[in-house]
Amino acid sequence: MNDHLLSMHDLTAADVTRILDTAGSFREVGSRVIKKVPALRGRTVVNLFLENSTRTRISFELAAKRLSADVINFSAGGSSVAKGESLKDTALTLQAMGADAIVVRHSSSGSPLQLTRWVDAHVLNAGDGTHEHPTQALLDLYTMREKHGRLDGLRVAIVGDVLHSRVARSLSIGLVTVGAEVTLVGPPTLIPPEAPAWGVEVSYDLDGVIPKLDVCYVLRVQRERQRLEYFPSVREYARLFGLTSERAQMLPETALIMHPGPMNRGVEIDSDVADRPAAVIEEQVTNGIAIRMALLYLLLGGTGEAEAA
């Protein structure tokens, strides 16, 4: 492992396997009555969340606490400029307080990489702008591997607003790294023309893609994209690219339905589709804690008690 986790590009296939395996050993901790191991006792993890995100922050907080680390939550709405202190000064402050790891969520692409230039702590990217969200990608890979027993050769469609999605970037990179076949599906306005350079296929025809899938991964579509003329209406979007009940019927029986949350039911996914057994959306959330435990443990060089856990 590197010192930081900023991008899925930082990881080889072997790294991914090691992280997923480590997460597997932590997965069980969450089902105990006492959900705690002492692996990171005395270490300090700072959750620096400069963009609103309750779900990811809670997941990281639980992960760190289950490893017995001291956790500090530093949240602020809006940009660092809006709160009057620069990101750099905030980072230097956290450094001075002895943070061992900084988990950063920020609306600015590239800010986790910038942080590494200012602090000695290990930096974990918890989502930066429209760039990447590697921990989400890893928990998704974990979920896919758990359900399908493999990642190599898995046929995955990522459907929706790829252009603005850090999840789509990280997941595409991760899936390609482990040998899966990725197809990005969405309106042409929301798929970067250069996406094929990531090693993925691009399609504008969801119906043509669906029958061959092992995983249908649905992205959240923000309604403001309509205002910015990326598509004419939510109605037309849902008709062309929404995972409707009719479309879900066309999926192979073993196919998984996944979504990074939070969902817009009725827009990118029909409500009853989200509640089907094939939809493993809550399991993604549960697995997220184990993945984040594994990453904190591996980055901070835990004391070897993971195996014991």
Active-site hit among 9, 55, 223, 235: 55
Check if 55 is active-site: yes
Q: Which amino acid, residue 241?
A: F
Active-site hit among 4, 43, 66, 133: 133
Distances (CA, A) of 177 to 5, 16, 86, 191: 15, 9, 35, 20
DSSP-derived letter for residue 243 is: B
Q: Which residues lie near another protein (CB under 8 A)?
A: 79-81, 86-88, 106, 108-111, 113-114, 128-132, 166, 169, 192-195, 197-198
Check if 164 is active-site: no
Distances (CA, A) of 195 to 129, 168, 172: 18, 11, 10
Q: Strand order in 70-75's β-sheet? A: 70-75, 44-49, 101-106, 122-128
Report, in Å, the least distance between residue 74 CB and another protein: 16
Distances (CA, A) of 169 to 3, 192, 222, 253: 21, 11, 17, 27
What sign does the CA torsion over 134, 286, 295, 117 have? positive
Check if 147 is active-site: no
Q: Which is nearer to another protein, 24 or 192 (CB)?
A: 192
Report, in Å, the least distance between residue 41 CB and another protein: 34
Check if 133 is active-site: yes
Check if 292 is active-site: no
Report, in Å, the least distance between residue 267 CB and another protein: 23
Q: How far does CA 230 lie from the centroid of its chain?
A: 24
- Nearest CA among 227, 146, 148, 216 for reference residue 182: 216
Q: Which is nearer to another protein, 149 or 193 (CB)?
A: 193
Report, in Å, the least distance between residue 111 CB and another protein: 5
Q: Which is nearer to another protein, 201 or 305 (CB)?
A: 201
Active-site hit among 4, 22, 44, 56: 56
Q: Which is nearer to another protein, 66 or 106 (CB)?
A: 106
Active-site hit among 9, 36, 83, 239: 83
- Residues known to be catalytic: 55-56, 83, 105, 133
